[in-house]
Amino acid sequence: MPLLTPEMKKALRRVQADKLMTKKDLAKVLSVTEKTAQSITKDNEPQEVKTRVFNAVVSVIAKNY
């Protein structure tokens, strides 16, 4: 399974803050549950995620950076 790096998590939180998104909004954009959105933004530890989630995160970061 792909790994979300601390830098990717930080970038995702930056996008969330810049766009004034709630966790619910972020979950909708990523097409994941709110629980998953919380999990992938809560800390700076590397985290294994499903390929679909990884691709969604990378896509959101790329579109907004």
Supply the pLDDT for residue 65: 78
Q: How far is CA 64 from the centre of its chain?
A: 12
Provide the 8-state DSSP code for 27: H
Q: Answer for the pair 2, 49: CB distance below 8 angstroms, yes or no.
A: yes
Superfamily for 3-64? lambda repressor-like DNA-binding domains (1.10.260.40)
Q: Answer for the pair 32, 41: CB distance below 8 angstroms, yes or no.
A: no
**Domain residue spans in the chain?**
3-64
- Summarize pLDDT for 10-64 with one digit per residue, the tens: 999 999 999 999 999 999 999 999 999 999 999 999 999 999 999 999 999 999 8
pTM equals: 0.93
Q: Give Cβ neighbours of residue 19 (< 8 Å, ≥ 6 apart).
A: 25, 64
Task: Count Cβ atoms below 10 Å from residue 39 Cβ, excluding itself.
Answer: 15
